[in-house]
Structures are given as C-alpha cells and as structure tokens.
Amino acid sequence: MEEKRNGLRVILFPLPLQGCINPMIQLANILHSRGFSITVIHTRFNAPKASSHPLFTFLQISDGLSETQTKDDVMSLLAQININAESPFRDCLRELLLESKESERVSCLIDDCGWLFTQTVAESLNLPRLVLCTFKATFFNAYPSLPLIRTKGYLPVSDSEAEDSVPEFPPLQKRDLSKVFGEFGEKLDPFLHAVVETTMSSSGLIFMSCEELEKDSLTIANEIFEVPIFAIGPFHSYFSASSSSLFTQDETCIPWLGNQKDKSVIYVSLGSVVNITETEFLEIACGLSNSKQSFLWVVRPGSVLGAKWIEPLSEGLVRSLEEKGKIVKWAPQQEVLAHRAIGGFLTHNGWNSTLESICEGVPMICLPGGWDQMLNSRFVSDIWKVGIHLEGRIEQKEIEKAVRMLMEENEGEKIRERMKVLKDEVEKSVKLGGSSFQSIETLANHILLL
C-alpha cells in the first residue's frame, strides 16, 4: 500500500561509489516511508539501477569522466568529478525547482559530504542542504584536525613507536597514520577544509550511526560543526542495500551456505574499492586453505592487481580451496552475514560492512585498507573487542592463526559473547522508542520545517 504523501519532495545526490550509493538509497527509502517523495540525481559513472527503485525518480547528469579516469584512485576520481559535475548538477537542480509544483514542493537537497560544490549551488538557489556522512562520526570529527596531525612528525614511524597511540585521535596507533593519509599527504588538506566548511554551512548533518555506538562523538560533532545532528543508523536495519548493488551478486552462495553447519563458515570480503597485490592474494588463499575452515570468499574482478580474477591461483591451490570453500565475484552481503552458517567475517572494515557485521552479531577479523577503515578496525579490536586485528600482516600463517582463533578457540568464543552484547545494544536503537528511531522522527520534522 502506498504510504501517505506529505506534499514534499527531497532531492538526493550520492557520490558514485558503492559505499556511498547504498546508504543514500537506504536513506531515500527511510524518508519515503515518512511520506516524502524522492528524486535521485546521479552521475553517468556508477549509475544506480533505477528499475530496482520504481517509487523514486532518477535523473542522470554528465560527469565528464573518460574511461581512463573512471579507473583512477578514489581521491583523484573525486577531485575530477567535483570539477566536471558542478555545472550539469546546477542546471539539473535549477530545472527541478522551476518544475516544482505547489502541491509538491522541493523541500531540501541531501548529498554526500564528499561533494564540494553542492552547498554553494544550493545556496544560490535558496534550497536548504543537508549532509550525509557515510563514515563513523568519530572519524568525521577528525577532519578539521587531520592536517595538524599530519604535521606532528609521527611519520615515518619507528618500530619502537608503532603501537603508540595518537593522542589527538584515539584509538588510532601511530602505525595506522600512513594508511589514513595514504600517498596524498598535504594534498588532502584543501579537500578536508572544504568538506568542513560546506558542512558547517549546511542545514544539518546525518550519520549512519547511533548513540549506542558513539554517543560522545555525536555530541562532539554537534560542537564542531554547529548544525543539527541526526544519527539515524544503522540504515540497513530499516532497508536492505542489496537492491542498490553496482555488482552482479552470485546468489548461489546462499544455498551453498544452507549446506554448512551453524557458525562454521568464515566470510571473506574486502569490499568494493580495496585492491591487493598478487602476493597478498596468494597469502590469503594459503591461509584460508591451511586453516581447514569452511569459507565463502568474495574476490571482486580486478581487485587483485595485475589479474582479471583468480588466475594467480594454481590448479592445485584451487582444488585445495574448493574442498572447504566457495569463491564468488560478489555476494548479497547482508543476506550472507545474516545466515546461520556464518561464524566470522574477514573484512576491510568499511563502515557499511562493520555496521552490518555488528547488526548480525558476526565477529570480525580486521584487515583495513586505508582511510576511515583504520579507525573502524581499532574500535572493533581495541574498544569494543569484537574482533581480531591482523595489523596489516597479510601472511598465510597470521591469517590461518586468526581464522582458527576466531572459529575454534576459547578466545573466539569470548569475542562472540561480546559481539552479542553489542548487537543487542544496537538493535535497541532502531526499535520503537530507540535513539535512531526517535532521530528519524526528528529528521523528518526538521525537513518539514525547512
């Protein structure tokens, strides 16, 4: 049955990355369920599948990206698309506002914090803009101070100081910083400054998080950005992300899991962006094989540098892996993590994946690739204590040891018990009267009054 409409339309504009599109489409579903009509403006590159969301209007704009540029690293891609998309976005938004009917007024724009021009465009058209942050609030709070941390002299880090904490950014360790900043260094500073400035000028900041996970950080976010804060996550607890996947999902993994014992399978996925070397790929393969544990392994085509898919695996290693596991190109992750057969998740610790794992009570083995993943993994292993951190050691012995510990040993059982407690806490947030549930109502009322 069609929900009662409130006469207002919300414009959404996701960044064209899987980890940004999923939350934006989930947010669209949440707002639609509260009576708002939805229009999604999106780029040609990584366009969401409109046919999967028949209740929304989708409008594509030019992004000016060449085939070569679509294969750039994330920061280079974001820099270029922020230049190319501004004029087409402005034209599209202006036309939408001109067409806006009295019976259905455009209330606001909600876009990803990684768009740097949208605040200026929205202001020029007298349209309120809200910001969606797809990172942990704790990480986003560090945006103003990351340039300062970079100049503190923590890098390069000596072996004796590797495990020292970063006083300005707990619980990060100094060895984490090189992967937070990656190869970009001071090139990040203008981007971070622009994100902070445009967020502070917005009409509100939406986090896919909840008070149960980071109450103090949400309070701090309010003090830093001085705009209304809405922590309405985990989004996927309300609406699945599977229908907004940019990749074709291999559904055969679900019946395969159905033939496995409860909590006997380790799920392995490094997400939609992380790439690894052929050597690292082989180390993971050998570690999984030697662990003698059942596994479901997502190997995204092109994720192994220099290979199309799993060609680096020898025939003998493939046979060994097939005895206990299944390798797929992509999986319906929410469905997989919710399956009774899954007992652990070897993950890159993107915030989407981390939240999904917590919500299904699945303990983690942390292998972060960079950026906010470094912080997420520290919370998983050091603060919440619901996972094992590989500390960047992509070595078969370390992987075998971590998998066995999580799946077979007493320490793994303790981790599982702590995860159950955390899962129960987060579950409360999305139920009637919970912090996220109430925050959604507050957000809906905020948009009504814009």
Complete DSSP assignment for 82-132: HHHSHHHHHHHHHHHHHH-BTTBEEEEEEEETT-SSHHHHHHHTT--EEEE
What local confidence, expressed as pLDDT, does residue 73 receive?
A: 82
200 exposed, middle or buried (CB, 10 Å; 0-12, 13-18, 19+)? Answer: middle
What local confidence, expressed as pLDDT, does residue 1 receive?
A: 36
Go through the domains of the chain in sequence order and give each one's CATH number.
8-243+432-449 (3.40.50.2000), 247-427 (3.40.50.2000)
Residue type for position 136: K
Please tell me the distance from the alpha carbon of residue 35 to that of residue 283, in angstroms, as a whole number.
Answer: 50
Render the burial of 175-195: b for 16+ CB within 10 Å, e for the rest. Answer: bbbbebbeeeeeebeebbebb
CB-based contact 140:221 (threshold 8 Å)? yes
Residue type for position 226: E
290 exposed, middle or buried (CB, 10 Å; 0-12, 13-18, 19+)? Answer: middle
What local confidence, expressed as pLDDT, does residue 27 receive?
A: 96
The secondary structure of residue 173, as a DSSP letter, is: B
What local confidence, expressed as pLDDT, does residue 366 receive?
A: 98
CB atoms within 10 A of CB 420: 13
CB-based contact 356:267 (threshold 8 Å)? no
From the list 257, 277, 258, 284, the residue with the least C-alpha distance to 395 is: 284
Taking each continuous run of H as one helix and of E as one strand, the counts in the chain are 18, 13
Tens of each residue's pLDDT in the chain, 450 residues = 345 788 899 999 999 999 999 999 999 999 999 999 999 999 999 999 999 999 999 999 999 988 888 888 888 888 999 999 999 999 999 999 999 877 789 999 999 999 999 999 999 999 999 999 999 999 999 999 999 999 999 999 999 999 999 999 999 999 999 999 988 888 899 999 999 999 999 999 999 999 999 999 999 999 999 999 999 999 988 887 666 678 889 999 999 999 999 999 999 999 998 999 999 999 999 999 999 999 999 999 999 999 999 999 999 999 999 999 999 999 999 999 999 999 999 999 999 999 999 999 999 999 999 999 999 999 999 999 999 999 999 999 999 999 999 999 999 999 999 999 999 999 999 999 999 999 999 999 999 999
The secondary structure of residue 14, as a DSSP letter, is: -
